[in-house]
Amino acid sequence: MSIQPITETILRQTIQPRPENSHKGTYGRLTLVGGNAQFGGAIIMATTAGIYSGAGLTTTLTDPVNITALHARMPEAMVTDFHDETTLTELISSANSIVIGPGLGSDEAGLTALRRVFATVQPQQSLTIDGSAIDLVAKHDLPLPNAKLVFTPHEMEWQRLSGITIKDQTPDNNQQAVAKLGGIVVLKKHHTQVYAGQQIFENPGGTPAMATGGMGDTLAGMVGGFTAQFADQLNAVLSAVYIHSQIADDLAHNAYVVLPTQISEEIPWYMKQYSLPQSTKI
Ligand SMILES: NC(=O)C1=CN([C@@H]2O[C@H](COP(=O)(O)OP(=O)(O)OC[C@H]3O[C@@H](n4cnc5c(N)ncnc54)[C@H](OP(=O)(O)O)[C@@H]3O)[C@@H](O)[C@H]2O)[C@@H](O)CC1
Ligand SMILES: Nc1ncnc2c1ncn2[C@@H]1O[C@H](COP(=O)(O)OP(=O)(O)O)[C@@H](O)[C@H]1O
Ligand SMILES: [Mg+2]
C-alpha cells in the first residue's frame, strides 16, 4: 500500500484564477450547522474559515445564544436558529456544501439537527461531518445519507466511529473501515492522512503549535469553503488540509502557538499564491 504526499501540484490544479464574469453564486452556497450554548466558539471559527476560504454565500445554523457573537465577528455570514426545522430544511436543500458538527454537542438538540440534515441532504451535495456529529453517528449507529461525505475525525473520534483503537489505526485497518463507511476520511493528527477509496494521502506539514481548541473546527470550515467552490471534491479536501497546516507552519517560525483565527485570516493570501502561475510573485 502506498501513501502519497499531498503536493503543491494538487493545489495549483485546484485553485484557479476566478473568471471575471462571475458572482457570489458562482462560488458556492455553504451551510454550517453547529454551536450549542457551550461550544459557540467552534461554529464561529468554522464559519470564519469557510468565509475566508471563499465560499460565495455562507449561512450558519446555530443555537440562538450564538447569533449576536457570530454576527459581531462575521457580518458576512447569515445566521439562524438550528432548532427551526423549516429553515434548516430550506438552507440544507439550497446549499451545495454543508458542514455539520463543530460545537454541535451530543445531546438531543444536536441529534435532532443531525437527523434532519441526513434526511434532507441530496446525492450531489458535499456533506462534511465533524466533531460532535461524528460522535453522534457512532453513538446512535445512524445510517448515513447518500451524499458526497467527508469525515474529519481526530484519532479519538475515529476510534469511536470505526471501532479501531488509536494504537491499531494502521493504514490497512483504516482503509478497510473507510471502505465500509464510504466517503472521504480526513484522519487528523500529526501528519494528517486522507483516505479516499484506494488512495491514501499524507499531509507533509503541521506543527504542535496547532494544538489549540478550534483548530479542527477551522479545518472543517475550510473543507466546507473549498468543496463549495471547487468541483473536484477530493482535490478540494486535500487543498484545504494542506493550506491549513502550511499557514500554521509558516506562522510557527516566529510563534510558539498559532491560533485558529490567525489561520483563517491568512487563507486568501495563500489561495492567491496557488492561483498564480508558478513564476509569479506578488
Ligand atoms: N471553542 C469551542 O467552542 C470549542 C469547541 N469544541 C467542540 O467540542 C466538541 C468536542 O470535541 P473535543 O475534540 O474537544 O472532545 P472529544 O471528542 O471528547 O475529544 C477529546 C478526547 O480525545 C482524546 N484524543 C486522542 N487523540 C486525540 C487527538 N489526536 N486529537 C484530539 N483529541 C484526542 C483526548 O485525549 P486527552 O486530551 O485526554 O489526552 C480526549 O480524551 C466538538 O463539537 C468540538 O467541535 C472544541 O473544538 C474545542 C473548542
Ligand atoms: N502536533 C500536531 N501536529 C500537527 N497538527 C496538529 C497537531 N496537534 C493538532 N494538530 C491539528 O489541529 C487540528 C485539531 O483538530 P481537533 O482535535 O478536531 O480540534 P478542535 O475540535 O478543538 O477544533 C487537526 O487539524 C490536527 O491535525
Ligand atoms: Mg474537532
Answer yes or no: is 81 a known binding residue.
no
Q: How far is CA 265 from the centre of its chain?
A: 16
Reported pTM: 0.98
Q: Ligand 1, residues 33, 39, 189: which to mutate, most atoms within 8 A of Cβ?
A: 39
Which CATH code of 1.10.760.10, 3.30.530.20, 3.40.1190.20, 3.40.50.10860 fits the domain covering 3-16+24-275? 3.40.1190.20
Q: Ligand 3 centre and the CA of 277: distance in Å?
A: 34
Q: Report which ligand 1 atom has the smallest distance to the Cα of 34.
A: 43
Q: Report which ligand 1 atom has the smallest distance to the Cα of 215.
A: 47
Instruction: Determine whether the shortest distance from the Cβ of 131 to ligand 2 is under 6 A.
Output: yes
Answer yes or no: is 281 a known binding residue.
no
Short-list 178, 203, 208, CA closest to 192: 203
Helix residue ranges per DSSP H, the chain: 8-14, 40-52, 67-73, 85-93, 108-120, 131-140, 155-162, 171-181, 215-229, 233-252, 260-275
Answer yes or no: is 217 a known binding residue.
yes
The full set of domain ranges for the chain reads 3-16+24-275
Q: Ligand 1 centre and the CA of 138: distance in Å?
A: 15
Q: Which ligand is nearest to the CA of 212?
A: 2
Q: What is the pLDDT along the chain (282 residues), one digit of tens a residue?
A: 799 999 999 999 999 999 999 999 999 999 999 999 999 999 999 999 999 999 999 999 999 999 999 999 999 999 999 999 999 999 999 999 999 999 999 999 999 999 999 999 999 999 999 999 999 999 999 999 999 999 999 999 999 999 999 999 999 999 999 999 999 999 999 999 999 999 999 999 999 999 999 999 999 999 999 999 999 999 999 999 999 999 999 999 999 999 999 999 999 999 999 999 887 655
Answer yes or no: is 189 a known binding residue.
yes
Q: Ligand 2 centre and the CA of 213: distance in Å?
A: 8
For 82, the grid coordinates are 438550528
ipTM: 0.99
The answer to whether 111 and 136 are in contact (CB under 8 A) is: yes
